[in-house]
């Protein structure tokens, strides 16, 4: 079985809420899998970004921006999830490269 096939389940689980991401991190502890690590970082970045924007919008009073934020979240989530399903490691547009740099603690 290839490394991509071995890490695919952890990669998919990572996109299912922030809790799924934490579960995927533990799934990838032993043995470590590069494909799963890539998608865990991408998914973690998506979830953290969404929650940070939600908190920011709540306290700034700009609730009218919530629908565009949800649409943005849904679009990047679907993009990442489809990449995991299709066994590809293409980073998210604009942010994916940064997620790989910022979340190096996920190994």
pLDDT tens for each residue of 5-41: 888 999 999 999 899 999 999 999 888 899 999 999 9
Question: Counting every residue, how long is the chain?
Answer: 107
Q: Which of 43, 33, 35 is nearest to 95 (CA)?
A: 43
Residue 42 lies in a domain: yes
Q: How many domains, the chain?
A: 1
Tens digit of pLDDT for each residue in 58-100? 888 887 888 898 999 999 999 999 999 999 999 998 899 999 9
Residue 68 lies in a domain: yes
* Res 5: pLDDT: 84
Residue 64 lies in a domain: yes
Residue 107 lies in a domain: no
Residue 91 lies in a domain: yes
φ/ψ of residue 34, rounded to 5:
-65, -40
* Res 1: pLDDT: 62
Domain boundaries, position 91: 3-102
């Amino acid at each position: 079985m290839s490394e991509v096939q071995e890490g695919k389940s952890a990669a998919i689980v990572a996109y299912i809420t922030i809790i799924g991401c934490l579960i995927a991190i533990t799934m990838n502890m032993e043995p470590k899998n590069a494909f799963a690590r890539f998608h865990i970082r991408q998914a973690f970045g998506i979830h953290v970004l969404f929650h940070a924007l939600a908190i920011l919008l709540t306290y700034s009073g700009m609730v009218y921006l919530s629908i565009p934020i949800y649409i943005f979240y849904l679009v990047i989530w679907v993009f990442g999830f489809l990449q995991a399903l299709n066994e590809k490691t293409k980073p998210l547009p604009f942010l994916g490269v940064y997620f790989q740099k910022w979340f190096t603690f996920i190994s």
